[in-house]
Structure 1
Amino acid sequence: MKSMIIVALALVAVAAAIPVDEPPKILRSNFDQQPEGGYAFGFETENGIARQEEGQVKQVVDEENKPQSVVVVRGSYSYTDVDGKPETINYFADETGYHAEGDSIPKVPVARR
C-alpha cells in the first residue's frame, strides 16, 4: 500500500514538473462593429500569426427573386508553416461561397479546348 502511495506521489511530482507552453502574447487586437451590420477586426500575435477581416452587408436576390441581406466577408491570415516559410491566405465569402488563395492552396487546372 505504501509503495502505491509513493508511486502515485512520484507521478504527481513528474506531472507537475513538466513545463506548460504559454500561449503567444497578443500584440494587437481591434474590433469595430457598425450599426448596419458591417464589421472589421484584426489581431497579431508575437509568434507571427495575424488575421484581418471586414464584413459588409449587401442586398442580393435569392432563387425566388426575393431580396436578402448577406454579409460579404474579405480578409487574410498569415502564419509561419512547419518549414519556417511565411504563408498568407487571402479570402472572400459572399453569396457565391468561400474563395481562398495562397501558395499552399491547390489551384484548379484550367481545361483546354
Structure 2
Amino acid sequence: MSRIIIACAVLSVAAAAVLPEDAQAQIVDYVNNNDGAGNYNFRFETSNGLKRQESGVVFNQGQEDEYIQVQGSYSYIDTKGRLVNVIYRADRDGYHLQEKDTGLTMTGFQASPGLPPAAIASLLGK
C-alpha cells in the first residue's frame, strides 16, 4: 500500500514539472511605458509562444471616483497544442472577459460546438 502512495506522489510531482522548453524560454519582445500618472502600456512575447499586452488609462483623474480602465490580452499554447487567446477589460465595474478562444491547434482547426465538422472541412477546402 505504501508503495502505491509513493508511486502516486512521484507521478504527481513529475506531472507538475515545468516542460524543458518552458524553463528555457527567452523574452523575444518587450515594451513598457508608464507616464507616472497612472497611464501605462506594455507588451511582451517569449520564445515558447506566450504573449501578453495591456494598457491602462486613468479616468476622472483627481476626483473621488478616479479609476484606471485596463484593456489587454494574453495567449499561450496549452498542453494539447491549442492556441488559447484571452481578451479582457477591467474598469470601475470589475473584470470583464471579452473573448476566450481555444481551438486553433498547431496542426489545424478543432471543431467548435456550434459548427459541424463537415462545415469546418468545407471552409478549409477539404
Q: TM-score, normalised to structure 2's length? A: 0.58
Provide the residue aligned with 2:100 in structure 1: 102
Structure 1 gap segments, 5+ residues each: 1-19, 61-65, 105-113
* 1:76-95 aligned within 5 A: 76-95=73-92
Q: Distance in 2 between matches of 1:68 and 1:23?
A: 44
Q: Distance in 2 between matches of 1:32 and 1:96?
A: 25
Whose Rg is larger? 1
| CA-to-aligned-CA distance 1:20-67 (integer Å, 9 cap, x gap) | 94431000111000133100001000000000000000129xxxxx73
Identity, % of aligned pairs? 38
User: What SS does the corresponding residue of 1:71 show, helix, strand or coil?
Assistant: strand
Provide the residue aligned with 1:52 in structure 2: 53
Q: Does 1:23 align with 2:24?
A: yes
Structure 2 gap segments, 5+ residues each: 1-18, 103-126
Q: Distance in 2 between matches of 1:26 and 1:59?
A: 35
**How far apart are 1:94 and its partner, in Å?**
0.2
Q: Distance in 1 between matches of 2:73 and 2:27?
A: 17
Q: Which has the higher contact order (CA 8 A, sep 6+)?
A: 1
Provide the residue aligned with 1:37 in structure 2: 38
Q: Distance in 1 between matches of 2:94 and 2:55?
A: 16
Runs ≥4 residues deviating over 3 A: 20-23
Report the RMSD for the aligned CA atoms in angstroms.
2.0
Larger helix proportion of the pair: 2
Q: TM-score, normalised to structure 1's length? A: 0.64
Q: Distance in 2 between matches of 1:23 and 1:77?
A: 20
**How far apart are 1:92 and its partner, in Å?**
0.4
